[in-house]
Amino acid sequence: MNFQAPATETMEKIIDLHHDIMFFVVFIVTFVLVILVQLLRLFYYKNFSTLRYRFSHHETVEKVWTYIPAMILLTIASPSFSLLYSIDELHDPKITLKIIGHQWY
């Protein structure tokens, strides 16, 4: 969880992104755990056959648990792609090498 002190601005952004993503992860894991415990209690104490009928082929629930994770992944992807491309940038390199490799040449 602890990173060493960053030497560049890009590394600072990477650490900030890590902390932001960990917030999402902790929130999602806590939410899923609470829902799982509630459903286990519900299925343990109630009639299983009537509850199974209520949750079977429920299109709204299926859409929700498809769209919400997709939106979360898109929210996380945009800053991570910008960081990925900023890592690849070189500012005023001291030397440039051109290396050519041939396989079975």
pTM recorded for the entire structure? 0.65
Q: Determine, yes or no, domain membership for 100.
A: no
Q: What is the pLDDT of residue 71?
A: 92
- Read off the CATH number of the domain in which 45 is found: 1.10.287.90
Q: With respect to residue 99, please indicate whether it lies within any of the assigned structural domains.
A: no
Domain count, the chain: 1
Q: What is the mean pLDDT of residues 15-36?
A: 91
3-state helix, strand, coil in the chain (%, to 5): 70, 0, 30
Asked if the structure places residue 71 within a domain, the reply is yes
Which residues constitute the domain of residue 22? Answer: 9-88
pLDDT > 80? residue 27: yes
Q: Give the C-alpha separation, 45 to 43, whole Å.
A: 6
What is the Cα–Cα distance from 97 to 26, expressed in whole angstroms? 44
